[in-house]
Amino acid sequence: MSSFRIRPHFRETVDWDIATAQDQLVSRLRDGGGRCVVMSFPGYVTLRIPDREQHFWSPQLTVSLEPGEGGGTRLEGTYGPNTNVWSMYLYGYLLVGTAGVFAAVFGISQWLAGTRPWVLWVLAGLIGLAIGFYLLAQFGQKLAARQTFLLHRELEAALGREVEMY
């Protein structure tokens, strides 16, 4: 997977109504040999790697089913890390971003007041930390590429066609 995105995704439309699409998708995925764990919720299907093969960066695929334009069902899938890992990244970016905004405001205030804007060094460190988070996410994505492709192949087999990932 050579994507610069943190969470690759796809959009696909099938000719079935939502209930039929969910039933067909779940039954075909479960008949696929047990290479993935399938969980079904109203309007959503989640594929995960079995527990015995999971590691920290193991991906999961969440597919939402929504009414499509002109009939059918639109499938929108997102590949991402385990929910705990994704939450860690989300809160990490939130904390770094919030601290960055405060540091920028305080640093610019120092600069405009004619004092030494030492807080801008803190801002530079926070920007470096945000870049580090992004690079760590890319590293984890590379470690999970084989399992991401496994989930994608299982989905394509269940749909009976190729699906382009963005």
Which pLDDT tens digit goes with each residue over 70-99?
A: 888 999 999 988 888 889 999 999 999 999
Residue in 42, 78, 32 with CA at minimum distance from that of residue 59 = 78
Residue 165 lies inside a defined structural domain of this protein: no
SS3 content of the chain, % helix, strand, coil (to 5): 50, 20, 30
Report the predicted TM-score, pTM, of the whole model to 2 decimal places. Answer: 0.79
Query: CA-CA distance, 80 to 86, in Å (whole number)?
Result: 7
Residue 62 pairs in a beta bridge with: 46, 78
Which domain covers residue 15, as residue numbers? 1-160
Residue-wise pLDDT tens digits, 96-138: 999 999 999 999 999 999 999 999 999 999 999 999 999 998 8
Q: What's the structural domain count of the chain?
A: 1
Residue 91 lies inside a defined structural domain of this protein: yes
Residue 102 lies inside a defined structural domain of this protein: yes
Residue 17 lies inside a defined structural domain of this protein: yes
Residue 166 lies inside a defined structural domain of this protein: no
Structure tokens at 13: 């439309």
Contact 62, 78 (CB under 8 A): yes
Check residues 34 and 135 and name the one with the higher pLDDT.
Answer: 135
Query: CA-CA distance, 22 to 41, in Å (whole number)?
Result: 9
Question: Cβ atoms within 10 A of the Cβ of 119, count?
Answer: 18
Query: CA-CA distance, 6 to 135, in Å (whole number)?
Result: 10
Q: Distances from the Cα of 105 to the Cαs of 91, 102, 130, in angstroms?
A: 21, 5, 18
Residue 68 lies inside a defined structural domain of this protein: yes
Q: Is 109 helix (H, G, I), strand (E, B) or coil?
A: helix
CATH number of the domain residue 91 falls in: 3.30.310
Element spanning 48, H or E: strand 44-48
